[in-house]
A and B are shown apart, each in its own frame.
Chain A
């Protein structure tokens, strides 16, 4: 794996692609800087190992001074997708949307239809659980449902960490940098995101040993 930088001359498309921000922050022109731009997605076992936690972050790189005014968009539905039979098609979804400074969560449920277009569950507000969106600077407000689901929505520290700035220099043919620094500098330090966190009993995810999962943002038409 030699001559990394020499080959950059013929891979300008790749370089141009990478000099956008990372994990999924500002990943594509159509969503860049919009309220539907997903910055990150996590799925991990909860503190109670019977539970699975899903995290979606949107609207990255919020400075502390900009965070209080940042808000979830009422027209953007965040949808967690869960495939529990290995075909990469969602068998279950968790749908999340904001109304009147509260976040409404429904699921895991079988979606009305799979794919790029969704509708919300007909009894959306009754079937799920809701929580007041935690205002900036306040202790986290946690919503709980009778079937063991916990939900949160509000601003959080961006949990992503990466010396993205140095990576951009390495990839830039006009910059002399050829390697990362040690120690590196976390480009995302001191910035916030808007987070949605939901903790779900694993038994609500089906009977498989594993799932494939991804998150989507969908805009009201």
Chain B
């Protein structure tokens, strides 16, 4: 109940500030749009396809409302079981992917679903050199993930499973803001 009380306090303060405001330059008129209220989490996402691939059906909603700092404790074991079911070689002792991560280490990385982003270097999911330093629009993230799941220690295993052979978007991206292509 303590949290709820805190929320109510914030709401009340927010409401008071709005009531006290007498600015005429609010964007949509003297009263301005209403931005009060509390907002509760519905969905979240860090890295692509993590919830889709590694979280069991019955836990997908829970995963979306578990803060990242608690995800490893809550979900790493499930991630590992699902990875080893999907790609059985990972169940063999010592089996690793091309990042040198075994089943426990790889799922330990993935279970905390945040995107790691460099502020002083190349930003890419994987470009052959840099790994997990961001996610650019053109990054072939699915093939990278398939390679890490099925491709074994040197990306040569299960070639039929480790590349979907769709390597680029269906429209070219823009070179400047807003970067995404116009809709169809």
Q: Mark A residues whose CB is within 8 Å of B.
A: 1-4, 7, 10-11, 13-14, 16-18, 20-25, 27-31, 34, 36-38, 40-47, 52-53, 55, 62, 64, 67, 76-77, 79, 83, 87-89, 97, 99-100, 102, 104, 112-126, 130, 136-137, 140, 142, 150, 152, 155-157, 159-163, 166-167, 170, 178-186, 188-192, 195, 197, 199, 202, 205, 208-221
Given contacts A17-B55, A124-B35, A180-B165, is CB(A38)–CB(B45) below 8 Å?
A: yes
Contact call A45/B23, Cβ cutoff below 8 A: no
Contact call B183/A218, Cβ cutoff below 8 A: no
Contacts of A189 in B (CB 8 A): 170
Q: How many angstroms between the C-alpha atoms of A156 and B173 in the bound complex?
A: 11
Interface size grouping (class) on chain B: 35 or more
Chain B residue at minimal CB-CB distance from A53: B179
Contact call A178/B160, Cβ cutoff below 8 A: yes
Contact call B119/A4, Cβ cutoff below 8 A: no
Contact call B46/A118, Cβ cutoff below 8 A: no
Contacts of B167 in A (CB 8 A): 161
Q: How many angstroms between the C-alpha atoms of A165 and B17 in the bound complex?
A: 52
Q: How many angstroms between the C-alpha atoms of A24 and B57 in the bound complex?
A: 14
Contact call A43/B134, Cβ cutoff below 8 A: yes
Interface status of B1 (Cβ within 8 A of chain A):
no
Q: How many angstroms between the C-alpha atoms of A212 and B109 in the bound complex?
A: 12
Contact call A10/B85, Cβ cutoff below 8 A: yes
Contact call A41/B158, Cβ cutoff below 8 A: no
Q: Which of B45, B52, B55 contacts A214 (CB 8 A)?
A: B45
Q: Which of B45, B57, B86, B134 contacts A40 (CB 8 A)?
A: B45
Contacts of B33 in A (CB 8 A): 99-100, 104, 125
Contact call B183/A119, Cβ cutoff below 8 A: no
Question: Which residues 91-144 of B have a CB within 8 angstroms of A?
Answer: 112-120, 122-124, 133-137, 140-142
Contact call B160/A179, Cβ cutoff below 8 A: yes
Q: A122-B13, A159-B137 are in contact. List 17 more A-B contacts (CB 8 A).
A: A17-B56, A22-B49, A23-B49, A24-B52, A31-B64, A67-B183, A89-B67, A116-B40, A116-B65, A125-B32, A142-B178, A161-B142, A162-B166, A186-B166, A208-B119, A217-B44, A221-B37
Interface status of B176 (Cβ within 8 A of chain A):
yes
Contact call A166/B55, Cβ cutoff below 8 A: no
Contacts of A113 in B (CB 8 A): 6-7, 10
Contacts of A136 in B (CB 8 A): 183
B164 to chain A, nearest CB (A): 4
Contact call A210/B43, Cβ cutoff below 8 A: no
Total cross-chain contacts (CB, 8 A): 346
Contact call B57/A216, Cβ cutoff below 8 A: no
Q: How many angstroms between the C-alpha atoms of A53 and B33 in the bound complex?
A: 27
Chain A residue at minimal CB-CB distance from B173: A159
Q: Which of A7, A10, A126, A190 contacts B184 (CB 8 A)?
A: A190
Contact call B61/A29, Cβ cutoff below 8 A: yes
Contact call A52/B119, Cβ cutoff below 8 A: yes
Q: Which of A30, A38, A186 contacts B61 (CB 8 A)?
A: A30
Contact call A184/B46, Cβ cutoff below 8 A: no
Q: How many angstroms between the C-alpha atoms of A14 and B25 in the bound complex?
A: 54
Q: Which of B122, B169, B183 contacts A64 (CB 8 A)?
A: B183
Chain B residue at minimal CB-CB distance from A89: B69
Contacts of A116 in B (CB 8 A): 40-41, 65, 67
Q: How many angstroms between the C-alpha atoms of A36 and B41 in the bound complex?
A: 9
Contacts of B86 in A (CB 8 A): 11, 14, 18
B91 to chain A, nearest CB (A): 9
Contact call A120/B36, Cβ cutoff below 8 A: yes
Contact call B10/A119, Cβ cutoff below 8 A: yes
22 A-B residue pairs with CB within 8 Å: A1-B158, A4-B87, A14-B82, A18-B86, A28-B63, A44-B136, A44-B137, A47-B177, A55-B179, A97-B35, A119-B36, A122-B13, A142-B177, A156-B178, A159-B169, A186-B169, A188-B170, A189-B170, A190-B184, A216-B41, A218-B39, A220-B37
